[in-house]
Structure 1
Amino acid sequence: MSNLPNVIVVILNWNGCDDTLECLDSVVRVDYANFKIVVIDNGSTDGSMHAIPQRYPEVTFLQAGANFGYAGGNNRGISWALEHGADYILILNNDTIVHPDLINVFVQAANYLPIGSILGAKIYFFHRPDTLWFAGGRWNHRLHAFEHIGQNQLDGADYAHRLEVDYITGCALFSSASTFNEVGLLDENFFLTYEETDWCYRARKMQHRCFVIPEAKLWHKVAASFGGRESPLYSYFLTRNKLLWARKHLPLATRINIHKKSMQTLRHILLPRFYLSSSKLPLPKNLLWSFSSWLKTIKRNMAVPTNCAILLGLRDYYMGRFGNCPDQVRSLGKQSEKLTLSG
């Protein structure tokens, strides 16, 4: 055991007690002789602080005391791991189920890959266990957007080889303590989304490389903490943080194109096209009817919680408001849930 590197697994929990317990059920069965688990609780109110230590007293349970987001919560776990002698750190989403060989595979890969490499797993959808959610992250220069390699594809020979990629998802990110010390912690301005992408790009600027290891496998419930990827909360952070990430890492010309797309989205919501009705009404009445219809379109657009969240994300980016989202965004999430239930 003493000859094996010390791996510390960092799992963040925020009102996800059932998911975290199920995740821990799989992690404690990992076939590796020298690892510890630390769970950081981001101020949960769902009984996590009692249920998790009760079932797993051997797991270190840290209470952050408030919701510091994915970045802030994980930073507390990373800092704890660095202070407690970690050789390697695995950041792991609480809504995942891991293969028993996961840590072994990562440690072995770290031995033959360039020093300081950042490693990721082949990740499958939890409810479609043979279908890929992530086999690497890459920047699509044509679309000015990130994409998951292999997403929604059945696993097969095309995804059986180690691959160097642009970034590793924070769903499962493995690297050495020395790399974390060199690159630093996650940027808490992001709060949720893009923080691991930013971290990987910061690391790449320091000559670290990102690899997906196909033998490392886990299954992901996907966006459980967001309430789904179409939720207002997700839309807000994705809108705001993509612009923040672009500002930190992309050349000016590319950033201008991304801002243009943001403005197109803004115009589509707030200023949809005005069409003159084909009605045979007299022109004044036709104009009035068309104008009324145009206003109703804007009203309908603004009644969609996701649209409102996108607008708030754009507003906060341009006003330099980062970190957690406004309470209004979480209210939009509740509104969206009511609309879904009523529909």
Structure 2
Amino acid sequence: MKKVYIVLLNYKGIKDTLECLESLLKLDYPNFQIFVVDNTEAQHDQDLFADWAQGKPVQIDTAFENLVYPLAVKPVDHTITSQHEFLAGSFNQKIVFVKSDRNGGFSAGNNIALRHILKFGDKDSFIWLLNNDTVAKKESLSELTAFAGMEENKNTGIIGCRLVYYYTPDKIQAVGGRFNETFFISEHEGEGQPVTTAKSNFRRIDYVIGASMFVPYTFLHDVGLLSEDYFLYYEELDWTYRARKKGWSIDWCPEAIVYHKEGASIGSSYREKKSLFSEEQLFKSRRIFIKKFYTLSGKFYLSGLLLMANRIRKGNFKAAAAVAKTMYK
């Protein structure tokens, strides 16, 4: 049974992260180790992680509602360390809590753990990058490892899952993403479809959604870390483009189900209008990605105008201004 390293990134999301951890401890695949990288500036979340892992009652500001997995108070093997100390050695505990030096964004935070895995990890292992605002179904990791182990998937570098809306678990959030090279616009494949929809009914995906990315160690060693050119968004597309240049493919496992709250830590959710911060980061990262893999041609500016018009149509004038800012800076 191959080892799996699970990486969670926390930023002021203790409620979500603890629920995610509870679900992971109930997985039916036992050979895994969890790295929780805390990007929160304050020490508060780190202290709560320590209390929870020691089996102490955890008091938080937000009530736990709509939980798939209610919190259980029980001790778990763990260690707490700083980013500097973490990179200096290896650990055998079930959960490693790592305090980062700064909030460098999604890629930078995950890379703290990925660098450690590259240096000290089992070379025949897998890595599962998972958003902290997710809850994993107990069979999900077994299904992912089985899917990755199939002969026909030996060149599959990034494997996604069936992401399901946490608050409406009968509907799919996405099975992957598609990228329109004409207008440089991405969209979720399968969004809103019934959770029971067969894989054959979906179109081919162009990239795996960053909320759940399962990769073999050999892929990480060959393709490298997540690009820190981006603070948030487009990291998975960047990883995919670099992977394809090296002969890797992507796919998704239909039997692996992960419930996703979608953007809980950044104010981005399908249930509410996206925050201005998430809109700004989306457009900023979009420009970086297109400039890196294409060119900032007339298509880029035309598509930007269309995105701006769409925001104006919805009355989101601040988001429209954010589009304009990234187009002409």
TM bucket normalised to smaller: 0.7 to 0.9
Moved more, 223-232 or 98-107: 223-232
Residue 170 of structure 1, CA deviation = 1.3
Question: Which residue of 140, 154, 161 corresponds with 1:114?
Answer: 154
Aligned pair in 2 of structure 1 residues 183, 161: CA closer, same or farther (>3 Å)? farther
TM-score, normalising length: structure 1: 0.75
**8 Å Cα contact 1:162/1:212 also seen in 2:** no
Aligned to 1:307: 320
Question: Unaligned stretches of 5+ in structure 2?
Answer: 54-76, 79-94
Residue 179 of structure 1, CA deviation = 0.6
> Any idea what the Cα deviations from partners look like across 1:56-89, whole Å, max 9, x if unmatched?
2521001112111001001101112223324110
Q: Distance in 1 between matches of 2:50 and 2:300?
A: 45
Q: Percent identity?
A: 29
> Any idea what the Cα deviations from partners look like across 1:276-310, whole Å, max 9, x if unmatched?
xxxxxxxxxxxxxxxxxxxxxxxxx8x94333433
Residue 116 of structure 1, CA deviation = 4.6
Q: Distance in 2 between matches of 1:307 and 1:46?
A: 36
Q: Distance in 2 between matches of 1:262 and 1:227?
A: 23
The question of 1:234 aligning with 2:278 is answered: yes
Q: Distance in 2 between matches of 1:265 and 1:26?
A: 38
**8 Å Cα contact 2:304/2:323 also seen in 1:** no
Q: Secondary structure at the match of 1:100?
A: coil
**8 Å Cα contact 1:193/1:241 also seen in 2:** yes
The question of 1:261 aligning with 2:274 is answered: no
Question: Which residue of 179, 183, 189 corresponds with 2:229?
Answer: 189
Residue 218 of structure 1, CA deviation = 0.5
Aligned to 1:20: 17
Moved more, 121-130 or 133-142: 133-142
Aligned pair in 2 of structure 1 residues 265, 130: CA closer, same or farther (>3 Å)? closer
Moved more, 79-88 or 206-215: 79-88
Aligned pair in 2 of structure 1 residues 106, 163: CA closer, same or farther (>3 Å)? farther
Q: Distance in 2 between matches of 1:54 and 1:5?
A: 30
**8 Å Cα contact 2:307/2:320 also seen in 1:** no
Q: Distance in 2 between matches of 1:126 and 1:46?
A: 28
Count of residues paired in the alignment: 280
Aligned pair in 2 of structure 1 residues 95, 83: CA closer, same or farther (>3 Å)? same
Aligned to 1:282: none
Q: Secondary structure at the match of 1:117?
A: strand
What letter is aligned with 2:99?
Q
Aligned to 1:130: 170
Question: Which residue of 104, 107, 111 corresponds with 1:71?
Answer: 107
> Any idea what the Cα deviations from partners look like across 1:161-201, whole Å, max 9, x if unmatched?
89752111110000111111111111111110001111111
Q: Secondary structure at the match of 2:326?
A: helix
Q: Secondary structure at the match of 1:8?
A: strand
Q: Distance in 2 between matches of 1:81 and 1:145?
A: 33
**8 Å Cα contact 1:164/1:209 also seen in 2:** no
TM-score, normalising length: structure 2: 0.78
The question of 1:167 aligning with 2:207 is answered: yes
Aligned pair in 2 of structure 1 residues 84, 264: CA closer, same or farther (>3 Å)? same
Q: Secondary structure at the match of 2:198?
A: helix
**8 Å Cα contact 1:42/1:64 also seen in 2:** yes
Moved more, 77-86 or 233-242: 77-86
Aligned to 1:91: 129
**8 Å Cα contact 1:139/1:147 also seen in 2:** yes
Q: Distance in 2 between matches of 1:168 and 1:21?
A: 24
Q: Distance in 1 between matches of 2:164 and 2:178?
A: 17
The question of 1:249 aligning with 2:314 is answered: no
Q: Distance in 2 between matches of 1:129 and 1:199?
A: 29
Q: Distance in 2 between matches of 1:223 and 1:46?
A: 22
> Any idea what the Cα deviations from partners look like across 1:76-122, whole Å, max 9, x if unmatched?
01112223324110000000000111111111111111235310000
Residue 249 of structure 1, CA deviation = 2.4
Q: Distance in 1 between matches of 2:258 and 2:127?
A: 17
Aligned pair in 2 of structure 1 residues 171, 264: CA closer, same or farther (>3 Å)? closer
Q: Secondary structure at the match of 1:128?
A: coil
Residue 140 of structure 1, CA deviation = 2.8
Aligned to 2:186: 146
Q: Distance in 2 between matches of 1:60 and 1:35?
A: 12
Aligned to 2:29: 32
RMSD: 2.5
What letter is aligned with 1:66?
R
Residue 54 of structure 1, CA deviation = 2.2
Question: Unaligned stretches of 5+ in structure 1?
Answer: 273-300, 319-343
Highest Rg: 1 or 2? 1
Residue 227 of structure 1, CA deviation = 0.6
Residue 211 of structure 1, CA deviation = 0.5
Residue 46 of structure 1, CA deviation = 7.2
Q: Distance in 2 between matches of 1:32 and 1:71?
A: 27
Structure whose residues are more often helix by fraction: 1
